[in-house]
Chain A
Protein backbone atom coordinates (compact mmCIF):
# COMPACT_ATOMS: atom_id res chain seq x y z
CA UNK A 1 0.00 0.00 0.00
CA UNK A 2 2.65 2.44 1.07
CA UNK A 3 4.98 1.50 -1.74
CA UNK A 4 2.17 2.05 -4.23
CA UNK A 5 1.57 5.55 -2.87
CA UNK A 6 5.28 6.22 -3.01
CA UNK A 7 5.47 5.07 -6.58
CA UNK A 8 2.56 7.26 -7.62
CA UNK A 9 4.17 10.28 -5.96
CA UNK A 10 7.49 9.57 -7.63
CA UNK A 11 5.79 9.13 -10.98
CA UNK A 12 3.95 12.41 -10.51
CA UNK A 13 7.18 14.21 -9.66
CA UNK A 14 8.87 12.83 -12.76
CA UNK A 15 5.89 13.97 -14.82
CA UNK A 16 6.06 17.51 -13.46
CA UNK A 17 9.80 17.61 -14.07
CA UNK A 18 9.22 16.54 -17.65
CA UNK A 19 6.59 19.27 -18.07
CA UNK A 20 9.02 21.89 -16.78
CA UNK A 21 11.62 20.78 -19.26
CA UNK A 22 9.14 20.81 -22.11
CA UNK A 23 8.16 24.36 -21.14
CA UNK A 24 11.82 25.38 -21.12
CA UNK A 25 12.72 23.70 -24.38
CA UNK A 26 9.61 24.28 -26.45
CA UNK A 27 10.22 27.94 -27.40
CA UNK A 28 13.79 27.42 -28.71
CA UNK A 29 12.55 24.34 -30.52
CA UNK A 30 9.92 26.44 -32.30
CA UNK A 31 12.63 28.89 -33.30
CA UNK A 32 14.68 26.09 -34.78
CA UNK A 33 11.65 24.69 -36.55
CA UNK A 34 10.88 28.06 -38.11
CA UNK A 35 14.48 28.47 -39.20
CA UNK A 36 14.31 25.38 -41.41
CA UNK A 37 10.97 26.25 -42.99
CA UNK A 38 10.61 28.09 -46.23
CA UNK A 39 9.08 31.52 -45.90
CA UNK A 40 5.82 30.17 -47.29
CA UNK A 41 5.67 27.37 -44.73
CA UNK A 42 6.62 29.72 -41.91
CA UNK A 43 3.69 31.99 -42.65
CA UNK A 44 1.14 29.20 -42.96
CA UNK A 45 -1.59 29.03 -40.35
CA UNK A 46 -2.40 26.76 -38.60
CA UNK A 47 1.30 25.95 -38.24
CA UNK A 48 2.43 23.00 -40.28
CA UNK A 49 4.32 20.35 -38.33
CA UNK A 50 5.32 18.19 -41.26
CA UNK A 51 7.20 19.98 -43.98
CA UNK A 52 10.25 19.65 -46.13
CA UNK A 53 13.17 21.08 -44.13
CA UNK A 54 15.39 23.49 -45.99
CA UNK A 55 18.76 25.00 -45.23
CA UNK A 56 18.28 27.89 -47.62
CA UNK A 57 17.55 30.42 -44.84
CA UNK A 58 20.96 29.85 -43.35
CA UNK A 59 22.56 30.38 -46.73
CA UNK A 60 20.48 33.40 -47.60
CA UNK A 61 21.19 35.42 -44.48
CA UNK A 62 24.80 35.54 -45.57
CA UNK A 63 23.80 36.73 -49.02
CA UNK A 64 20.90 39.10 -48.31
CA UNK A 65 22.60 40.94 -45.49
CA UNK A 66 26.29 40.89 -44.53
CA UNK A 67 25.55 38.54 -41.64
CA UNK A 68 29.02 37.07 -41.93
CA UNK A 69 30.64 40.38 -41.13
CA UNK A 70 28.25 40.91 -38.21
CA UNK A 71 29.32 37.53 -36.86
CA UNK A 72 32.96 38.56 -37.22
CA UNK A 73 32.24 41.89 -35.50
CA UNK A 74 30.60 40.10 -32.60
CA UNK A 75 33.42 37.61 -32.37
CA UNK A 76 36.21 40.18 -32.48
CA UNK A 77 34.51 42.45 -29.96
CA UNK A 78 33.71 39.62 -27.55
CA UNK A 79 37.16 38.04 -27.81
CA UNK A 80 39.12 41.25 -27.39
CA UNK A 81 37.05 42.58 -24.53
CA UNK A 82 37.36 39.18 -22.85
CA UNK A 83 41.12 39.23 -23.32
CA UNK A 84 41.48 42.74 -21.89
CA UNK A 85 39.16 41.95 -19.00
CA UNK A 86 41.13 38.84 -18.10
CA UNK A 87 44.48 40.60 -18.33
CA UNK A 88 43.51 43.67 -16.32
CA UNK A 89 41.11 41.73 -14.15
CA UNK A 90 43.54 39.04 -13.06
CA UNK A 91 46.23 41.57 -12.12
CA UNK A 92 43.78 43.68 -10.14
CA UNK A 93 42.13 40.66 -8.56
CA UNK A 94 45.50 39.26 -7.49
CA UNK A 95 46.38 42.55 -5.91
CA UNK A 96 43.11 42.72 -4.06
CA UNK A 97 43.32 39.13 -2.90
CA UNK A 98 46.94 39.14 -1.76
CA UNK A 99 47.99 42.58 -0.64
CA UNK A 100 46.42 44.47 2.18
CA UNK A 101 46.29 48.19 1.61
CA UNK A 102 44.19 51.00 2.92
CA UNK A 103 40.52 50.54 2.14
CA UNK A 104 41.18 47.52 -0.10
CA UNK A 105 37.91 46.04 1.04
CA UNK A 106 35.94 49.16 0.14
CA UNK A 107 37.65 49.20 -3.22
CA UNK A 108 36.57 45.68 -4.04
CA UNK A 109 32.99 46.43 -3.11
CA UNK A 110 33.05 49.58 -5.17
CA UNK A 111 34.16 47.44 -8.11
CA UNK A 112 31.24 45.12 -7.46
CA UNK A 113 28.78 47.99 -7.46
CA UNK A 114 29.93 49.22 -10.88
CA UNK A 115 28.64 45.95 -12.25
CA UNK A 116 25.21 46.80 -10.95
CA UNK A 117 24.59 50.15 -12.60
CA UNK A 118 21.89 49.98 -15.24
CA UNK A 119 23.44 50.03 -18.73
CA UNK A 120 21.16 52.84 -19.81
CA UNK A 121 22.77 55.12 -17.22
CA UNK A 122 26.25 54.30 -18.48
CA UNK A 123 25.13 54.42 -22.10
CA UNK A 124 24.63 58.17 -22.26
CA UNK A 125 28.08 59.25 -21.02
CA UNK A 126 29.75 56.50 -23.04
CA UNK A 127 27.91 57.61 -26.16
CA UNK A 128 29.03 61.20 -25.65
CA UNK A 129 32.62 60.21 -24.91
CA UNK A 130 32.80 58.03 -28.03
CA UNK A 131 31.30 60.86 -30.04
CA UNK A 132 33.99 63.22 -28.84
CA UNK A 133 36.68 60.63 -29.57
CA UNK A 134 35.15 60.05 -33.01
CA UNK A 135 34.91 56.36 -32.27
CA UNK A 136 31.22 55.86 -33.01
CA UNK A 137 30.51 52.85 -35.20
CA UNK A 138 33.88 51.26 -34.58
CA UNK A 139 34.69 47.99 -32.91
CA UNK A 140 37.07 49.79 -30.55
CA UNK A 141 34.17 51.73 -29.07
CA UNK A 142 32.27 48.56 -28.33
CA UNK A 143 35.31 46.81 -26.87
CA UNK A 144 35.95 49.73 -24.53
CA UNK A 145 32.29 49.95 -23.59
CA UNK A 146 32.09 46.24 -22.78
CA UNK A 147 35.21 46.46 -20.67
CA UNK A 148 33.37 48.87 -18.38
CA UNK A 149 31.24 46.01 -17.15
CA UNK A 150 33.45 43.03 -17.91
CA UNK A 151 36.55 44.23 -16.05
CA UNK A 152 34.72 44.72 -12.72
CA UNK A 153 33.08 41.35 -13.17
CA UNK A 154 36.41 39.65 -13.90
CA UNK A 155 38.11 41.34 -10.96
CA UNK A 156 35.40 40.27 -8.59
CA UNK A 157 35.15 36.68 -9.73
CA UNK A 158 38.89 36.09 -10.12
CA UNK A 159 39.48 37.55 -6.67
CA UNK A 160 37.44 34.73 -5.20
CA UNK A 161 39.44 32.16 -7.19
CA UNK A 162 42.73 33.63 -5.98
CA UNK A 163 41.51 33.56 -2.41
CA UNK A 164 40.98 29.84 -2.69
CA UNK A 165 44.61 29.00 -3.38
CA UNK A 166 46.88 28.91 -0.34
CA UNK A 167 49.26 31.81 -0.03
CA UNK A 168 52.10 29.49 1.09
CA UNK A 169 52.65 28.17 -2.42
CA UNK A 170 53.65 31.57 -3.76
CA UNK A 171 55.57 32.42 -0.63
CA UNK A 172 57.74 29.34 -1.01
CA UNK A 173 58.30 30.25 -4.65
CA UNK A 174 59.42 33.71 -3.63
CA UNK A 175 61.75 32.25 -1.00
CA UNK A 176 63.26 30.20 -3.81
CA UNK A 177 64.04 33.44 -5.63
CA UNK A 178 60.95 34.18 -7.67
CA UNK A 179 59.96 37.82 -8.17
CA UNK A 180 56.41 38.86 -7.21
CA UNK A 181 55.54 39.07 -10.89
CA UNK A 182 57.09 35.68 -11.46
CA UNK A 183 55.04 34.29 -8.60
CA UNK A 184 51.96 35.72 -10.22
CA UNK A 185 52.56 34.53 -13.77
CA UNK A 186 54.26 31.20 -13.07
CA UNK A 187 52.48 30.03 -9.92
CA UNK A 188 49.20 31.80 -9.18
CA UNK A 189 47.86 32.22 -12.69
CA UNK A 190 48.30 28.58 -13.76
CA UNK A 191 46.69 27.49 -10.50
CA UNK A 192 43.48 29.35 -11.23
CA UNK A 193 43.43 28.36 -14.90
CA UNK A 194 39.98 26.73 -14.61
CA UNK A 195 38.65 29.86 -12.91
CA UNK A 196 40.25 31.99 -15.58
CA UNK A 197 38.55 29.94 -18.29
CA UNK A 198 35.18 30.16 -16.57
CA UNK A 199 35.48 33.92 -16.10
CA UNK A 200 36.52 34.32 -19.70
CA UNK A 201 33.53 32.37 -20.92
CA UNK A 202 31.22 34.51 -18.83
CA UNK A 203 32.63 37.78 -20.14
CA UNK A 204 32.41 36.34 -23.63
CA UNK A 205 28.75 35.48 -23.12
CA UNK A 206 27.99 38.94 -21.72
CA UNK A 207 29.68 40.70 -24.63
CA UNK A 208 28.11 38.45 -27.23
CA UNK A 209 24.62 38.99 -25.82
CA UNK A 210 24.91 42.71 -25.13
CA UNK A 211 22.39 44.79 -27.00
CA UNK A 212 21.92 48.34 -25.71
CA UNK A 213 25.49 49.58 -26.20
CA UNK A 214 25.72 47.84 -29.54
CA UNK A 215 22.48 49.51 -30.58
CA UNK A 216 23.51 53.06 -29.79
CA UNK A 217 27.24 52.92 -30.50
CA UNK A 218 27.18 51.27 -33.90
CA UNK A 219 25.72 52.05 -37.26
CA UNK A 220 26.36 49.76 -40.16
CA UNK A 221 30.06 48.98 -40.06
CA UNK A 222 30.54 47.71 -36.52
CA UNK A 223 27.06 46.25 -36.06
CA UNK A 224 26.93 43.11 -33.96
CA UNK A 225 24.68 40.07 -34.23
CA UNK A 226 21.98 41.04 -31.68
CA UNK A 227 21.46 44.40 -33.37
CA UNK A 228 21.38 42.85 -36.81
CA UNK A 229 18.69 40.46 -35.59
CA UNK A 230 16.31 43.32 -34.92
CA UNK A 231 16.95 44.44 -38.49
CA UNK A 232 14.76 41.59 -39.71
CA UNK A 233 11.78 43.38 -38.20
CA UNK A 234 10.89 45.73 -41.01
CA UNK A 235 8.10 48.10 -41.86
CA UNK A 236 6.93 45.71 -44.54
CA UNK A 237 6.75 42.79 -42.14
CA UNK A 238 8.99 40.41 -40.31
CA UNK A 239 11.21 38.00 -42.24
CA UNK A 240 10.43 35.18 -39.86
CA UNK A 241 12.37 32.26 -41.21
CA UNK A 242 15.49 34.30 -41.90
CA UNK A 243 15.33 35.92 -38.50
CA UNK A 244 14.91 32.51 -36.90
CA UNK A 245 17.94 31.15 -38.74
CA UNK A 246 20.05 34.10 -37.60
CA UNK A 247 18.70 33.67 -34.08
CA UNK A 248 19.72 30.03 -34.00
CA UNK A 249 23.22 30.97 -35.12
CA UNK A 250 23.38 33.63 -32.41
CA UNK A 251 22.32 31.35 -29.60
CA UNK A 252 24.20 28.22 -30.65
CA UNK A 253 27.64 29.25 -29.32
CA UNK A 254 26.05 30.34 -26.05
CA UNK A 255 24.53 26.90 -25.49
CA UNK A 256 27.92 25.28 -26.00
CA UNK A 257 29.66 27.71 -23.69
CA UNK A 258 27.03 27.22 -21.03
CA UNK A 259 27.65 23.50 -21.16
CA UNK A 260 31.37 24.16 -20.74
CA UNK A 261 31.06 26.33 -17.63
CA UNK A 262 28.20 24.53 -16.00
CA UNK A 263 30.29 23.59 -12.96
CA UNK A 264 31.07 27.23 -12.26
CA UNK A 265 27.73 28.50 -13.50
CA UNK A 266 26.17 29.32 -10.16
CA UNK A 267 29.27 31.04 -8.90
CA UNK A 268 29.54 33.19 -12.00
CA UNK A 269 25.91 34.14 -12.19
CA UNK A 270 25.72 35.25 -8.57
CA UNK A 271 29.06 37.07 -8.64
CA UNK A 272 30.46 34.53 -6.25
CA UNK A 273 27.83 35.24 -3.61
CA UNK A 274 26.92 31.57 -3.70
CA UNK A 275 29.40 28.85 -4.48
Chain B
Protein backbone atom coordinates (compact mmCIF):
# COMPACT_ATOMS: atom_id res chain seq x y z
CA UNK B 1 0.00 0.00 0.00
CA UNK B 2 2.79 2.42 0.87
CA UNK B 3 4.44 1.47 -2.38
CA UNK B 4 1.42 2.53 -4.36
CA UNK B 5 1.12 5.74 -2.37
CA UNK B 6 4.63 6.50 -3.58
CA UNK B 7 3.76 5.72 -7.17
CA UNK B 8 0.67 7.83 -7.00
CA UNK B 9 2.88 10.89 -6.76
CA UNK B 10 4.81 9.90 -9.83
CA UNK B 11 4.33 9.60 -13.49
CA UNK B 12 5.09 6.14 -14.66
CA UNK B 13 4.04 4.57 -17.87
CA UNK B 14 4.66 0.83 -18.00
CA UNK B 15 4.61 0.62 -21.77
CA UNK B 16 7.19 3.32 -22.32
CA UNK B 17 9.27 1.63 -19.67
CA UNK B 18 11.56 4.21 -18.16
CA UNK B 19 11.71 5.21 -14.59
CA UNK B 20 9.52 7.01 -12.19
CA UNK B 21 9.39 10.72 -12.34
CA UNK B 22 8.34 12.53 -9.25
CA UNK B 23 5.50 14.87 -10.05
CA UNK B 24 4.24 15.61 -6.57
CA UNK B 25 0.56 16.19 -6.25
CA UNK B 26 0.12 16.69 -9.96
CA UNK B 27 -1.81 13.43 -10.48
CA UNK B 28 -4.24 14.25 -7.72
CA UNK B 29 -4.66 17.80 -8.93
CA UNK B 30 -5.31 16.53 -12.43
CA UNK B 31 -8.15 14.28 -11.36
CA UNK B 32 -9.66 16.58 -8.82
CA UNK B 33 -9.64 19.77 -10.86
CA UNK B 34 -8.94 19.16 -14.53
CA UNK B 35 -10.09 15.77 -15.73
CA UNK B 36 -13.70 16.09 -16.93
CA UNK B 37 -14.03 12.30 -17.10
CA UNK B 38 -13.19 11.93 -13.45
CA UNK B 39 -16.13 14.19 -12.64
CA UNK B 40 -18.44 12.08 -14.78
CA UNK B 41 -17.16 8.89 -13.24
CA UNK B 42 -17.55 10.29 -9.74
CA UNK B 43 -21.08 11.34 -10.53
CA UNK B 44 -21.92 7.91 -11.96
CA UNK B 45 -20.46 6.28 -8.86
CA UNK B 46 -22.43 8.48 -6.50
CA UNK B 47 -25.69 7.94 -8.38
CA UNK B 48 -25.06 4.20 -8.49
CA UNK B 49 -24.12 3.89 -4.83
CA UNK B 50 -26.92 6.05 -3.46
CA UNK B 51 -29.53 4.37 -5.67
CA UNK B 52 -28.57 0.79 -4.89
CA UNK B 53 -28.03 1.28 -1.18
CA UNK B 54 -31.27 3.15 -0.55
CA UNK B 55 -33.47 0.89 -2.66
CA UNK B 56 -31.86 -2.23 -1.28
CA UNK B 57 -32.39 -1.03 2.27
CA UNK B 58 -36.07 -0.31 1.77
CA UNK B 59 -36.79 -3.53 -0.14
CA UNK B 60 -34.63 -5.54 2.23
CA UNK B 61 -36.47 -4.19 5.23
CA UNK B 62 -39.77 -5.04 3.56
CA UNK B 63 -38.70 -8.60 2.87
CA UNK B 64 -37.31 -9.00 6.37
CA UNK B 65 -40.60 -7.86 7.91
CA UNK B 66 -42.45 -10.19 5.57
CA UNK B 67 -40.39 -13.15 6.67
CA UNK B 68 -40.42 -12.29 10.34
CA UNK B 69 -43.23 -14.71 11.03
CA UNK B 70 -43.14 -18.23 12.33
CA UNK B 71 -42.04 -20.05 9.20
CA UNK B 72 -41.23 -23.65 8.58
CA UNK B 73 -38.00 -24.67 6.88
CA UNK B 74 -36.18 -21.44 7.78
CA UNK B 75 -32.91 -22.95 6.63
CA UNK B 76 -34.25 -23.47 3.14
CA UNK B 77 -35.51 -19.89 2.91
CA UNK B 78 -32.27 -18.49 4.23
CA UNK B 79 -30.21 -20.44 1.73
CA UNK B 80 -32.43 -19.51 -1.19
CA UNK B 81 -32.41 -15.87 -0.26
CA UNK B 82 -28.68 -15.57 -0.08
CA UNK B 83 -27.90 -17.40 -3.32
CA UNK B 84 -27.62 -14.16 -5.32
CA UNK B 85 -25.14 -12.68 -2.86
CA UNK B 86 -22.79 -15.63 -2.53
CA UNK B 87 -22.95 -16.55 -6.18
CA UNK B 88 -19.94 -15.63 -8.30
CA UNK B 89 -20.49 -11.95 -9.26
CA UNK B 90 -19.33 -12.65 -12.80
CA UNK B 91 -22.11 -15.21 -13.13
CA UNK B 92 -24.59 -12.62 -11.86
CA UNK B 93 -23.39 -10.34 -14.63
CA UNK B 94 -23.78 -13.09 -17.21
CA UNK B 95 -27.30 -13.91 -16.07
CA UNK B 96 -28.41 -10.31 -16.35
CA UNK B 97 -26.73 -9.85 -19.66
CA UNK B 98 -28.74 -12.82 -20.83
CA UNK B 99 -31.98 -11.33 -19.51
CA UNK B 100 -31.24 -7.86 -20.85
CA UNK B 101 -30.11 -8.99 -24.29
CA UNK B 102 -32.07 -6.93 -26.84
CA UNK B 103 -32.35 -9.73 -29.39
CA UNK B 104 -33.06 -12.78 -27.29
CA UNK B 105 -33.49 -11.55 -23.73
CA UNK B 106 -36.39 -12.72 -21.63
CA UNK B 107 -37.17 -9.21 -20.39
CA UNK B 108 -37.99 -7.89 -23.83
CA UNK B 109 -40.05 -11.00 -24.42
CA UNK B 110 -42.16 -10.18 -21.37
CA UNK B 111 -42.46 -6.56 -22.47
CA UNK B 112 -43.78 -7.63 -25.85
CA UNK B 113 -46.15 -10.05 -24.19
CA UNK B 114 -47.78 -7.01 -22.60
CA UNK B 115 -47.70 -5.12 -25.87
CA UNK B 116 -44.82 -2.82 -24.95
CA UNK B 117 -41.95 -1.96 -27.29
CA UNK B 118 -38.66 -3.81 -26.71
CA UNK B 119 -35.84 -1.85 -25.11
CA UNK B 120 -32.10 -1.85 -25.61
CA UNK B 121 -31.43 -2.16 -21.88
CA UNK B 122 -27.67 -1.95 -21.75
CA UNK B 123 -27.05 -0.16 -25.04
CA UNK B 124 -29.02 2.99 -24.38
CA UNK B 125 -26.97 5.55 -22.41
CA UNK B 126 -29.94 6.65 -20.33
CA UNK B 127 -31.06 3.09 -19.60
CA UNK B 128 -27.73 1.40 -18.97
CA UNK B 129 -27.12 2.71 -15.46
CA UNK B 130 -30.65 1.92 -14.22
CA UNK B 131 -30.27 -1.57 -15.71
CA UNK B 132 -27.01 -2.14 -13.86
CA UNK B 133 -28.63 -0.80 -10.70
CA UNK B 134 -31.48 -3.31 -11.04
CA UNK B 135 -28.99 -6.16 -11.42
CA UNK B 136 -27.15 -5.00 -8.31
CA UNK B 137 -30.41 -4.74 -6.42
CA UNK B 138 -31.20 -8.32 -7.36
CA UNK B 139 -27.77 -9.39 -6.17
CA UNK B 140 -27.73 -7.64 -2.80
CA UNK B 141 -31.27 -7.02 -1.56
CA UNK B 142 -31.63 -10.59 -0.24
CA UNK B 143 -28.40 -10.12 1.71
CA UNK B 144 -29.82 -6.97 3.30
CA UNK B 145 -33.07 -8.77 4.06
CA UNK B 146 -31.29 -11.68 5.67
CA UNK B 147 -29.24 -9.54 8.02
CA UNK B 148 -32.16 -7.31 8.90
CA UNK B 149 -34.20 -10.45 9.58
CA UNK B 150 -31.53 -11.66 11.98
CA UNK B 151 -31.70 -8.28 13.64
CA UNK B 152 -35.49 -8.42 13.88
CA UNK B 153 -35.43 -11.85 15.43
CA UNK B 154 -33.01 -10.82 18.13
CA UNK B 155 -35.23 -7.97 19.34
CA UNK B 156 -36.81 -8.35 22.78
CA UNK B 157 -40.48 -9.28 22.74
CA UNK B 158 -41.76 -7.24 25.70
CA UNK B 159 -42.13 -3.81 24.03
CA UNK B 160 -44.18 -5.36 21.24
CA UNK B 161 -46.51 -7.12 23.64
CA UNK B 162 -46.91 -3.97 25.71
CA UNK B 163 -47.77 -1.95 22.61
CA UNK B 164 -50.30 -4.55 21.57
CA UNK B 165 -51.96 -4.34 24.97
CA UNK B 166 -52.09 -0.56 24.64
CA UNK B 167 -53.84 -0.97 21.29
CA UNK B 168 -51.18 0.49 19.02
CA UNK B 169 -51.72 0.09 15.28
CA UNK B 170 -49.35 -1.91 13.11
CA UNK B 171 -47.77 1.22 11.65
CA UNK B 172 -47.31 2.80 15.07
CA UNK B 173 -45.57 -0.31 16.34
CA UNK B 174 -43.28 -0.29 13.34
CA UNK B 175 -42.51 3.42 13.50
CA UNK B 176 -42.02 3.78 17.26
CA UNK B 177 -40.77 0.38 18.35
CA UNK B 178 -39.36 -1.71 15.51
CA UNK B 179 -37.39 1.03 13.77
CA UNK B 180 -35.65 2.47 16.85
CA UNK B 181 -34.79 -0.99 18.17
CA UNK B 182 -33.53 -2.12 14.79
CA UNK B 183 -31.42 0.99 14.25
CA UNK B 184 -28.05 -0.58 15.17
CA UNK B 185 -28.58 -3.38 12.64
CA UNK B 186 -29.71 -0.92 9.98
CA UNK B 187 -26.59 1.19 10.44
CA UNK B 188 -24.33 -1.86 10.18
CA UNK B 189 -25.85 -3.13 6.92
CA UNK B 190 -25.98 0.37 5.52
CA UNK B 191 -22.28 0.95 6.09
CA UNK B 192 -21.30 -2.51 4.83
CA UNK B 193 -23.30 -2.12 1.66
CA UNK B 194 -22.02 1.41 1.16
CA UNK B 195 -18.44 0.20 1.24
CA UNK B 196 -19.13 -2.73 -1.06
CA UNK B 197 -21.10 -0.62 -3.52
CA UNK B 198 -18.15 1.74 -3.93
CA UNK B 199 -16.02 -1.26 -4.88
CA UNK B 200 -18.38 -2.63 -7.54
CA UNK B 201 -16.32 -3.83 -10.45
CA UNK B 202 -17.21 -7.33 -11.64
CA UNK B 203 -20.79 -6.49 -12.49
CA UNK B 204 -19.80 -3.45 -14.55
CA UNK B 205 -17.04 -5.37 -16.27
CA UNK B 206 -19.36 -8.12 -17.47
CA UNK B 207 -22.47 -6.06 -18.15
CA UNK B 208 -21.31 -2.86 -19.83
CA UNK B 209 -17.55 -2.30 -19.52
CA UNK B 210 -18.37 1.22 -18.40
CA UNK B 211 -20.26 2.05 -21.56
CA UNK B 212 -22.12 3.10 -23.57
CA UNK B 213 -20.04 6.25 -23.50
CA UNK B 214 -19.22 6.71 -19.85
CA UNK B 215 -22.74 6.13 -18.60
CA UNK B 216 -21.80 3.27 -16.26
CA UNK B 217 -18.14 4.02 -15.64
CA UNK B 218 -17.80 3.78 -11.86
CA UNK B 219 -14.56 4.90 -10.19
CA UNK B 220 -13.12 1.43 -9.67
CA UNK B 221 -13.59 0.65 -13.35
CA UNK B 222 -12.13 3.99 -14.35
CA UNK B 223 -9.05 3.29 -12.23
CA UNK B 224 -8.78 -0.18 -13.73
CA UNK B 225 -8.81 1.25 -17.24
CA UNK B 226 -6.17 3.78 -16.35
CA UNK B 227 -3.90 1.20 -14.78
CA UNK B 228 -4.35 -1.90 -16.87
CA UNK B 229 -5.56 -0.69 -20.23
CA UNK B 230 -3.48 2.46 -20.61
CA UNK B 231 -0.81 1.45 -18.08
CA UNK B 232 -0.66 4.87 -16.47
CA UNK B 233 0.18 3.26 -13.18
CA UNK B 234 0.86 6.56 -11.43
CA UNK B 235 -2.48 8.09 -12.29
CA UNK B 236 -4.32 4.87 -11.55
CA UNK B 237 -2.73 4.74 -8.10
CA UNK B 238 -3.74 8.25 -7.26
CA UNK B 239 -7.21 7.52 -8.57
CA UNK B 240 -7.54 4.48 -6.38
CA UNK B 241 -6.25 6.47 -3.44
CA UNK B 242 -9.09 8.90 -3.87
CA UNK B 243 -11.38 5.88 -3.64
CA UNK B 244 -9.54 4.64 -0.57
CA UNK B 245 -10.03 7.99 1.16
CA UNK B 246 -13.77 7.80 0.58
CA UNK B 247 -13.89 4.22 1.87
CA UNK B 248 -11.70 4.83 4.88
CA UNK B 249 -14.06 7.60 5.91
CA UNK B 250 -17.00 5.19 5.79
CA UNK B 251 -14.99 2.41 7.42
CA UNK B 252 -14.04 4.71 10.28
CA UNK B 253 -17.69 5.26 11.11
CA UNK B 254 -18.28 1.52 10.89
CA UNK B 255 -15.37 0.64 13.15
CA UNK B 256 -16.32 3.30 15.67
CA UNK B 257 -19.81 1.92 15.65
CA UNK B 258 -19.03 -1.71 16.40
CA UNK B 259 -16.33 -0.61 18.80
CA UNK B 260 -18.83 1.14 21.01
CA UNK B 261 -20.94 -1.98 20.75
CA UNK B 262 -18.07 -4.13 21.97
CA UNK B 263 -17.12 -2.09 24.97
Q: Which residues of A pack against B, CB within 8 Å?
A: 13, 16-17, 20-21, 23-25, 27-28, 30-31, 34, 42-47, 109, 112-113, 116-125, 127-129, 205, 208-209, 211-212, 215-216, 225-227, 229-230, 233, 238, 240, 243-244, 247, 250-251, 254-255, 257-259, 262-263, 265-266, 269-271, 273-275
- Interface contact A273-B83, CB-CB below 8 Å: no
A229 and B90 within 8 A (CB): yes
A117–B69 Cα distance when bound, in Å, is: 37
Given contacts A20-B63, A109-B255, A124-B233, contact A230 B90 (CB under 8 A): yes
B88: chain A residues within 8 A (beta carbon): 208-209, 211, 225-226, 229, 247, 250-251, 254
A118-B198, A211-B202, A230-B90 given; A270·B224 CB < 8 A: no
A and B contact pairs by CB, cutoff 8 A, 9 listed: A24-B80, A121-B223, A122-B1, A124-B4, A124-B237, A127-B227, A247-B91, A269-B82, A273-B192
Q: Are B66 and A16 in contact (CB under 8 A)?
A: yes
Please judge, given known A-B contacts A243-B94, A247-B91, whether A24 and B84 are in contact too, CB under 8 Å: yes
In the complex, B96 has a CB within 8 A of chain A: yes
When distances are taken between beta carbons in the complex, the residues of chain B under 8 Å from A119 are: 199, 201, 220
**Chain A positions within 8 Å of B243 at CB level:** 118, 120-121
B28 part of interface (Cβ distance < 8 Å): no
Task: Known A-B contacts: A116-B195, A129-B3, A275-B150. Give 10 more (CB < 8 A).
Answer: A24-B81, A30-B99, A46-B112, A118-B220, A119-B201, A120-B243, A121-B1, A226-B202, A230-B206, A247-B88
A71 to B28, CA, bound (A): 41
Taking CB atoms, residues of chain A closer than 8 Å to B69 are: 13
4 A-B pairs with the lowest CB-CB distances in the bound complex, closest first? A121-B240, A125-B4, A226-B90, A266-B150
* Interchain CB contact under 8 A, A47 and B80: no
